[in-house]
Amino acid sequence: MSESTTTATLEISRETAPTPLAQLSMQQAINRALGEILESDDRALIFGEDVGVLGGVFRVTDGLQQRFGANRVFDTPLAESGILGTAIGLAMAGFHPIPEVQFDGFAYPAVNQIITQLARMNYRSRGRLPMQVTLRVPSFGGIRAPEHHGESLESLFAHVPGLKVVAPANPQQAYHLLKHAVSMPDPVIFMEPKARYWNKAGVNLTENVAGDDDRASLEGSVIARSGKHATLIAWGAMVSRCLQVAELAAEDGIELEVLDLRWLKPIDEAGLAASVARTRRAIVVHEGPHTAGLGAEVAALVSQSCFDTLRAPVERVTGFDVPYPSGDLEDEYIPNIDRILFGVQRVLEYRRG
């Protein structure tokens, strides 16, 4: 083999070789994304309760104040409305704030600022005051925390015009979707599933991708597992649980598709419809209460788009219509594998009339 041929072969090998993946937890992936955002955007600021010196309750911002200084990563008083008010004022002045609400249940005092100012300011000012704010919210349950330390607020935020809402399901998504969210001109509620903070997975740090498949874009939903008998629709920590269900169902010859919705506002209606049109059955799984939960909106969209092809009513497996419980009752509240499997069974066995 000639030297030129050998060189050409090596070049082809370099081009086709798979990109190495960094094994990171979601906490590490978000930390890395935040560091890169601060490096590339002088107007980006990170602040919230204990995010500076301590590095956050979950250590998501660990080391960032030491790297970038207390003027760009700083602690705030224990006042969520003040945190959001500060973020809104900074955005009006041209900064790109990335505030953190320490726990999802602590967001309630800031709802007034989020709904009446953050979500409306761009509209109210006819575009003169864009709100390039990314609010990080450690969300959902699964860590056996006290009351108000585990909530599922996606339906509240998704209902508000002017907000975008996203919930990553794994480290790869968390890394890329956070960077994408911060670059958006609109306010984004970034809901981080606390129960998945410490689960490690491969993260492609060189490509601008965010799905399990490297070809997936940063917008819309993604198929986490292909199937043909029914579609499990989930987001956040429930994606992992639905993948467990799909594995168990496969042992009985049932091929379940798992659709990771990711973006909860706007919802990927086309991707949702395409998946359910293939499987003809749908089960929506989420931690929030059943009544007026986001699953109801998903079910309505599926019924509207797939009415002629559905072979069963859309099933919902959700939390219950009670306040989100403290840790000792979480296992009874959060949809577990058995409850999801029963939902699958109901849609598979459904017979009309």
- Looking at residue 146, its pLDDT comes to 85
More confident residue, 217 or 112: 112
The angle, 0 to 180 degrees and rounded to 10, between the axes of the packed helices 337-349 and 237-250 is 60
What is the distance between the alpha carbons of residues 29 and 176, in angstroms, rounded to a whole number? Answer: 9
Architecture in CATH for domain 222-349: 3-Layer(aba) Sandwich (3.40)
Pairing of strands 44-48, 73-75: parallel
Per residue in 13-27, pLDDT (tens digit) is 444 445 578 999 999
180 is catalytic: no
CA 178 to chain centre: 9
Closest CA to 315 of 251, 232, 236, 216: 232
What are the φ/ψ torsions at residue 233 (nearest 5 degrees)? Answer: -110, 125
Residues of the chain with CATH 3.40.50.920: 222-349
Judge contact between 45 and 75, C-beta under 8 A. Answer: no
Exactly one of 149, 176, 180, 286 is catalytic; name it. Answer: 149
Higher pLDDT: 18 or 297? It is 297
d(CA 185, CA 96): 9
Considering the chain, what percentage of its residues have pLDDT values greater than 70?
A: 92
Q: Quick one: average pLDDT of 122-134?
A: 94
Number of CB atoms found within 10 A of residue 291's CB:
10
CB 26 within 8 A of CB 236: no
pLDDT for position 209: 64
Nearest to 181 by CA among 214, 127, 136, 227: 136
Nearest-angstrom CA–CA distance, 95 and 42: 9
pLDDT in tens, 37-59: 999 999 999 999 999 999 999 99
- The answer to whether 100 and 84 are in contact (CB under 8 A) is no
Helix (H) or strand (E) holding 272: helix 269-279
Mean pLDDT of the chain: 92
Give pTM, 2 decimals.
0.92
- Please list the residue range(s) of the chain that carry CATH number 3.40.50.970: 22-203
- Backbone angles phi and psi of 265, in degrees to 5: -160, 110
**pLDDT at residue 207 tops 70:** no
DSSP string, 71-105: TTEEE--S-HHHHHHHHHHHHHTT-EEEEE-SSGG
- CATH no. of 22-203: 3.40.50.970
Render the burial of 121-137: b for 16+ CB within 10 Å, e for the rest: bbeeeeeeebbbbbbbb
pLDDT at 208: 63
* pLDDT > 90 in the chain, percent: 85
